[in-house]
Amino acid sequence: MTHHDSQAQRRPGSVFRIASRRNLLACALLSCMAMAAPTALAQSTAATIRGVVSSDGGPAANASVTATNIASGLSRKVQTGADGHYSLAGLPPGTYRIDVNAGGQTNTRNVTVAVGQSATLNLSTGGVAETAPAGEATDLDKVTVTSTALVETKTSEIATYVSNKQIAALPQASRNFLAFADIVPGVQFTTGTEGSTKLRSGGQLSSGINVYVDGVGQKDYVLKGGITGQDSSRGNPFPQLGIAEYKVITSNYKAEYDQLSSAAITAVTKSGGNEFHGSFFWDHTSDEWSAKTVREEKGEVPKAQQKEDQYGASFSGPLIQDKMHFFVTYEAKEYNSPRSITPGRNYRIDQLPAQFQDMARESISAPFKEDLYFGKIDWTPGDAHLIEFTAKYRKEDELTGIGGARLGDYGTLKAGEETRLDLRYQYSAANWLNDAHLTYEDTTFGPRPVTVANGYQLRVPKQGEENLNNPVMEEVLFFGGGGDFQDKGQKGYALQNDFTWNGWEGHTVKAGVKYKMIDISAMEKQPYSPQFRYDIRNFATPYEVNFSGTASDFPPSVKSKNKQFGIYLQDDWEVNEHLTLNLGLRWDYETTPSYENFRTPANLVAALQNFSNIHQPGVDYDINDYISTGNNRKAFKDGWQPRLGFSYDLNGDERHVIFGGAGRSYNRNQFDYLSFESYRLAFQQITYQFNSPGHTCTVTPTGNCFNFDPSFYDPETLAALARQRPNAGSEVFLINNDLKTPYSDQFSLGMRNGFAMFGHEWNSSATLAYVRSHDGILFALGNRRPDGSFHEAGRTFGGAPFDFNLPGFGKFFIGDNAVETKTKQVLLSLDKPFTEESGWGASFAYTFTDAKENRFNSDIFTFDYPNLDNVGFTRAVGVSRHRFVATGIMDFYGMTLSGKLTLASPEVEESTNCVKFGDKNCFFDPYTPDSTIGFKQFDMALQKEWDTGAGIKFWARGDVLNVFNWRNYIDFDTYRGTQIAPNPRLGERRDNIALPTRTFKLSMGFNW
C-alpha cells in the first residue's frame, strides 16, 4: 500500500474489535495530518506519527506508545502527556506496528508512513471507536491488520509523493528515478536529442532545483544541471534500485531546504531488513526494435545502429537481527545511440559542396557507459539511537557533441566521476530528537576532444546579410578537432545538525545548522585546437581562425576554498483542530575567495581607465564597479528567507483543507560563471581575420588581419604571433563587485479534498501559484563607441560595438544580476492511490503555466542590448502553457499493466522580429508553432512474475515507448525575415523530431 491510502480509514461505520480478557480497546485513525517538514532528518526525509490517546472519553495520561518497523525491527517508544498527546519522531519511512498500552489495555495497529510525513494517529479506549478504518480483519485472539498508508493533506507546501510502486511499475526508458517527477503538476522532465536529461519547474532552468537524498543535498556548485551528474549527461544521478520513494515540492517548502529557488525533491534510500533479499535485472533495446525517424523514412540518412543495455543487482539483509542491516546495489548503462547529421541554416546534405556530402552521410553513433554503486549500513544499538553509513559512487564516459551540424570526429570524450559518503547519527528522547550528518563529496567533470587536430567550420552569411562585407556568419557543418577541454569539480566535507523539540503543546519546533567546507575548481580551454572558419561560397581559404593563445599550455585552474553556513528555525503550530501555521526563517551565507579576493591585473586596470570610450557621459555603467582591488568585495550576507504557510481544515476531518504560503528561497551563483574573469583572462582566446572575398580587412604589422598562408595551419605559428601581441584579442570578463545571490519569491493558495468515488477513496488538489525569480547572472558587452553609445545612431537593437575593443585586449564583458522570470500556474491533480486490496491506481496532473523571462532561455549573455533594464518579458522558452500527464497501474493474475500519457501544447521557439519596425529596431518575439498539441506520447508496460517455489520469483517485462509512434517535431523555421522581405517559410516544420520513435524494450530479472 502507498502512503495515499488513508482516506479509507475515515469511512464511518467501519470497526475492528480485539477480544481479550481485558476491556475492549478500539483504535481509530482519524486521518493523516502532514506538516510536510516534520522532525527528524534535514530536508525532511524521516516521518513522525503523533496524536492523542484517550480513554473513557478523556485523555489517557502516561500511556505507552511503541512503533516497531516491520522490516528492520527498529523501535521507538514514548509516553503520553497529561493531555494524552504523544509524538514518535525520527521514523525512517516504512511500515510500523503501533502498540498502545493504556492502563493495562492494549491494542495494535499497522500503518505505513512515507518520506517526510507527519501523520496523526488518534487512539481511544472503551467500546467502539467513533470512526475506524475499513477492511480490517477481526480475530478473537489477536488483531490481524494490513498496513494503512497515510496521506498528507494539512501542509502548506505544494507537495506530491512518488511511491515505490510507481517507480517500479510505470514505463520508462532511462531508469532515472527523477523521470517520474513529471507526474506531479508543475514539473517537467525532458530528454534532449542527444539523450541528456533535465528536470525543471516553471520558468526557471534546471539549475534552480535541488535533490536531497537521505537528507543530504546533491547540489552542483559548478555546472548548471541543478545537481551533480545532471548537467549534460545521459546518465543517472543515483541507482534507481536504491531509491525507496520520494517527495516533489514545487514551491513553498519549509525552512530546512537550502540552495535552491525552484523545485525540491527529497528522496529516501532503501535499507536492509531482518530477511535476506536480492534482485537482478537486465533490459535491452536496439535499432531493430525502434521505428524509423522521418529522415530515415525519406532515405536522407541511413538508420544508424543503436543498442541500449541496462543491468544491475541488489542484495540486502541482517548483520545482527533487529540491530544491524545492510543494503548494496549496482546499476550500469551501456548505450550506443545514433546521431543524425543535419547541416545548419536549412541546408540539405545534397546542397553542400560535393567534397562534404559523403562525410555528412556517414552513420555515426555516440557510445555511453555508466557505473553506479550504492551501499548502506544501519545500526540501532538501542531504542534511542540510530546510526547509518551510506556510500555512493558514479563513473561515466561518453562521446558527445556530435550530430546536427557536427560530424563524428568533432566530438568530445566526456568523463564524470562522483563519490559521496554520509555518516548519520540520530538520538531520540521523550520530547526531543537530534539528527546529525557528516558528509563527504568528490565530483569531477572532464571533457576532452576526441580528435587532436585543427577544427574546420563551414559557415554561411546570416539571411539578409549575403551582400555585406564581414556579415554575421551562421554554422553549417563542423568537422576535424573539437574545441572542448574542461576540468571542473567540487570536493569537501559538511556537518549538518537538526534538533527538534516536541515538548511545547501544539508546536513542533525545529532548528538546524549546516557548515560546509568545499574546494571548487574550474578550468576551461576553449578552443583546445585552432578552429578555421570557411565561407561556404569560398571554402578554399578560411576567412578567420579562432584559437587559444598558446599551442599546448593550459590556463591554471581557478580554485576556491568555499565555506558555507546555513541556519534555520521552523515552528509548525497546530493552533486548533482546523488551523495549522508553518512559520520558518532561514539564513544562508557563503564565502567564495576566488571571487572576493580577486585582483584585477594592473595592466588591465590601466587599459580600462585609459579607454576613453567607456568614460563618456552617455555610458550606462561605472567601470569602477567592476575593478576589484582584492578587498572591495564582500560575501553576500542578506540571504534571509522567511517561509510562511498555513492550512485550514474546514471540518476538522482533513477531507477539505485550504492551504497557502509565501516565502523566499536563495539559490547560488554557479562557480563556473564566477570563474570567468580568472580563467578567461589566463589564456588568450584570439580571432585572426584573413583578407578574403566577402571578408576583407586591412593588413597591418601589429593588427589581427593577415593574408592567409598555409603556415597558419600550424598551431605553433599562431602561438608565436600571439606571443608577439601580449593580450591582443583576449576576451576580458569583469564581474560586479556587489554581486548578489539569485533567489525566488513564491506564493500559493489552494485546496485539497478527499472523497469517495466509484467505491474508492480519491485525493484531489487545486492550487494557484506565482513564482518570481530575480538576480540571475548576465554578461553584457562592455565595449562602447567613441561617444559612449552602445547602438549606432538610429538603432535600438543589435549593432553591438564589437569593433571598438578594449585597447591591448579584445572584447570585454561585464557581469551583473539581471535575468528574471515570472511564472503563474494553475496546478490540478486527481489520484486514486494504488492499494493491494483494489489492485489498481491512477493519477492525473494538469498544469497551466504562464511563464515569462527577460532573456531567452535565461541565457547568461546578451549582445543586442547594453543591459536588460528596458527589455520586456517574453514567453519563456521550453515551457508549455498546457501540460497533462496521466498514469495508471493495475495488478491482475500475476501481471502488472501500466501506462503513461503525456500531452503538452507547443513550446515557443526563439525568434527575433525585424519585420514590424525594421532591421534597426528589432525585438525579441518568440514564435509559437501552429499546433494544438506540441508533444504527445503514450507509453505502456506489461510485467509478468512467476514464483518458482524455491523462494525465487522470476519476472519478464516489455515496455513500449511512444506506442502510437506520434511524431513530435522540434525544429521549425523561426526566421521572420526583414521589413521589406518577410520570410514566407516562417513556421515551416522541418523533419527533426524528439525521440523516441515507437520503441520496444525487453526487461527480465528475478527477486528472492
Cell of 576: 486548533
pLDDT beyond 90 at 342: no
Task: Pick from 351-355, 461-465, 757-761 the range whose average pLDDT is largest.
Answer: 757-761
Q: Are 186 and 825 contacting, i.e. CB atoms less than 8 angstroms apart?
A: yes
Q: pTM score, two decimals?
A: 0.88
Give residue 461's domain range. Answer: 277-1007
What's the maximum distance between 2 C-alpha atoms anywhere in the chain? Answer: 107
Please provide residue 810's backbone torsions phi and psi, each rounded to the nearest 5 degrees: -145, -140
The arithmetic mean of pLDDT across residues 502-521, rounded, is 94
| Confidence at 180, pLDDT banded by 50, 70, 90 | very high
Residues 816, 276: Cα–Cα separation, whole Å:
56
Residues 179, 192: Cα–Cα separation, whole Å:
13
**Quick one: the chain helix, strand, coil %, rounded to 5?**
10, 50, 45
| Confidence at 363, pLDDT banded by 50, 70, 90 | confident
CA 600 vs CA 625, 722, 813: distances in Å? 12, 22, 14
In 691-759, DSSP assigns E strands to 705-706, 732-735, 743-757
β-partners of residue 146 are: none
The H or E element containing residue 210 is strand 210-213
Residues 139 and 281 in one domain: no
Q: Are 272 and 137 contacting, i.e. CB atoms less than 8 angstroms apart?
A: no
CA 100 vs CA 105, 123, 446: distances in Å? 8, 9, 57
Residues 335, 398: Cα–Cα separation, whole Å:
9
Q: Are 65 and 98 contacting, i.e. CB atoms less than 8 angstroms apart?
A: yes
Q: Are 819 and 856 contacting, i.e. CB atoms less than 8 angstroms apart?
A: no
Q: Are 448 and 525 contacting, i.e. CB atoms less than 8 angstroms apart?
A: no
Cell of 376: 548502506
Is 566 exposed, middle or buried (CB count within 10 Å of its CB: 0-12, 13-18, 19+)? buried
Amino acid sitting at position 558: V
In this prediction, residue 296 carries a pLDDT of 85
Task: Pick from 184-193, 678-687, 816-825 the range whose average pLDDT is largest.
Answer: 816-825
pLDDT beyond 80 at 906: yes
Is 787 exposed, middle or buried (CB count within 10 Å of its CB: 0-12, 13-18, 19+)? exposed
In this prediction, residue 62 carries a pLDDT of 83
Q: What is the CATH number of the domain that holds 641?
A: 2.40.170.20
| 247 within some domain | no
Cell of 631: 578587498
In this prediction, residue 444 carries a pLDDT of 96
SS (H, E, C) 495-517: EEEEEEECCCCCEEEEEEEEEEE
* Mean pLDDT (the chain, rounded): 87
% of the chain residues with pLDDT over 70:
91
Residues 784, 806: Cα–Cα separation, whole Å:
9
CA 489 vs CA 51, 384, 445, 522, 679: distances in Å? 47, 38, 6, 7, 15
Map residue 284 onto helix, strand or coil.
strand
State the virtual CA torsion across 889, 891, 894, 898 in degrees, nearest 10.
-20
Cell of 719: 602561438
| Confidence at 804, pLDDT banded by 50, 70, 90 | very high
pLDDT beyond 50 at 12: no
In this prediction, residue 147 carries a pLDDT of 61
In this prediction, residue 332 carries a pLDDT of 97
Please provide residue 881's backbone torsions phi and psi, each rounded to the nearest 5 degrees: -65, -40
Residues 408 and 549 in one domain: yes
The arithmetic mean of pLDDT across residues 717-738, rounded, is 82
pLDDT beyond 70 at 41: no
Map residue 716 onto helix, strand or coil.
helix
Q: What is the pLDDT of residues 881-895, one digit of tens each?
A: 999 999 999 999 989
In this prediction, residue 306 carries a pLDDT of 83
Q: Are 25 and 18 contacting, i.e. CB atoms less than 8 angstroms apart?
A: yes
pLDDT beyond 50 at 998: yes
| 245 within some domain | no
Counting the structural domains of the chain, the total is 2
Residue with cell 536549412: 346
Q: What is the pLDDT of residues 633-648, one digit of tens each?
A: 999 999 999 999 999 9
Map residue 679 onto helix, strand or coil.
helix
β-partners of residue 640 are: 587
The arithmetic mean of pLDDT across residues 654-664, rounded, is 95
Cell of 340: 543524425
Phi-psi region of 951 (alpha: psi -120 to 50; beta: other; left: phi over 0): left
Residues 870, 851: Cα–Cα separation, whole Å:
19
Cell of 667: 539559490
In this prediction, residue 13 carries a pLDDT of 32
Q: What is the pLDDT of residues 578-593, one digit of tens each?
A: 999 999 999 999 999 9
The arithmetic mean of pLDDT across residues 338-349, rounded, is 82
| 311 within some domain | yes
Residues 152, 134: Cα–Cα separation, whole Å:
19
pLDDT beyond 70 at 129: no
Which one has a higher pLDDT value, 486 or 142?
486
Map residue 213 onto helix, strand or coil.
strand
- Name which of 374, 119, 113 is nearest 243 in CA terms: 374
SS (H, E, C) 419-478: EEEEEEEEEECCCEEEEEEEEEEEEEEEEEECCCCCEEEEEEECCCCCCCCCCCEEEEEE
Amino acid sitting at position 193: T
Q: What is the pLDDT of residues 70-121, one digit of tens each?
A: 888 888 888 888 788 888 887 888 888 888 888 777 788 888 888 877 777 7
Query: Which residues have a Cβ under 8 Å from the Cβ of 168 and sit 6 or more positions away?
Result: none
Which of 132, 149, 166 is the C-terminal boundary of a domain? 149
In this prediction, residue 781 carries a pLDDT of 96
Q: What is the pLDDT of residues 436-493, one digit of tens each?
A: 999 999 999 999 999 999 999 999 998 778 888 889 899 999 999 998 899 999 999 9
Determine which of 260-264, 333-337, 956-960 has the lowest per-residue pLDDT on average. 333-337
Map residue 155 onto helix, strand or coil.
coil
| Confidence at 124, pLDDT banded by 50, 70, 90 | low
Determine which of 129-138, 211-220, 870-879 has the lowest per-residue pLDDT on average. 129-138
Q: Are 454 and 532 contacting, i.e. CB atoms less than 8 angstroms apart?
A: yes
| 586 within some domain | yes
Q: What is the pLDDT of residues 152-174, one digit of tens each?
A: 778 889 989 999 999 999 999 88
pLDDT beyond 90 at 24: no
Residues 791, 795: Cα–Cα separation, whole Å:
6
Residues 269, 247: Cα–Cα separation, whole Å:
12
In this prediction, residue 673 carries a pLDDT of 94
Query: Which residues have a Cβ under 8 Å from the Cβ of 7 and sit 6 or more positions away?
Result: 151, 754, 755, 756, 761, 762, 763
| 94 within some domain | yes
pLDDT beyond 80 at 32: no
In this prediction, residue 944 carries a pLDDT of 96
Alpha helices in 581-621 (DSSP H): 593-596, 602-610
Distance of CA 557 to the CA centre of its chain: 27
Which of 149, 172, 204 is the C-terminal boundary of a domain? 149
Buried residues in 859-885 as b, exposed as e (16+ CB within 10 A): ebebebbbbbeebebbbbbbbbbbbbb
Q: Are 848 and 201 contacting, i.e. CB atoms less than 8 angstroms apart?
A: no
Q: What is the pLDDT of residues 848-871, one digit of tens each?
A: 999 999 999 989 999 999 999 989
Residue with cell 519596425: 917
Residues 685, 729: Cα–Cα separation, whole Å:
7
In this prediction, residue 727 carries a pLDDT of 61
In the 8-state DSSP scheme, what is residue 403? B
In this prediction, residue 29 carries a pLDDT of 26
The arithmetic mean of pLDDT across residues 786-793, rounded, is 94
Determine which of 8-22, 685-699, 858-872, 882-896 has the lowest per-residue pLDDT on average. 8-22
Phi-psi region of 173 (alpha: psi -120 to 50; beta: other; left: phi over 0): alpha
In this prediction, residue 950 carries a pLDDT of 87
In this prediction, residue 753 carries a pLDDT of 95
Q: What is the pLDDT of residues 923-944, one digit of tens each?
A: 999 999 988 899 999 999 999 9
Q: What is the CATH number of the domain that holds 142?
A: 2.60.40.1120
Residues 519, 38: Cα–Cα separation, whole Å:
32
Which of 118, 133, 149 is the C-terminal boundary of a domain? 149
The H or E element containing residue 86 is strand 85-91
Q: Are 369 and 399 contacting, i.e. CB atoms less than 8 angstroms apart?
A: no
| 258 within some domain | no
Cell of 812: 570585454
Beta-carbon neighbour count of residue 306 at 10 Å? 19
Cell of 448: 576532452
Cell of 958: 516489455
pLDDT beyond 60 at 18: no
| Confidence at 26, pLDDT banded by 50, 70, 90 | very low
Is 57 exposed, middle or buried (CB count within 10 Å of its CB: 0-12, 13-18, 19+)? exposed
Residues 452, 497: Cα–Cα separation, whole Å:
49
Residues 660, 667: Cα–Cα separation, whole Å:
22
Q: What is the pLDDT of residues 295-322, one digit of tens each?
A: 888 887 777 778 899 999 999 999 999 9
Residues 900, 493: Cα–Cα separation, whole Å:
41
Q: Are 374 and 269 contacting, i.e. CB atoms less than 8 angstroms apart?
A: yes
Buried residues in 474-506 as b, exposed as e (16+ CB within 10 A): ebbbbbbbbbbbbbbbbebebebbbebbbeeee
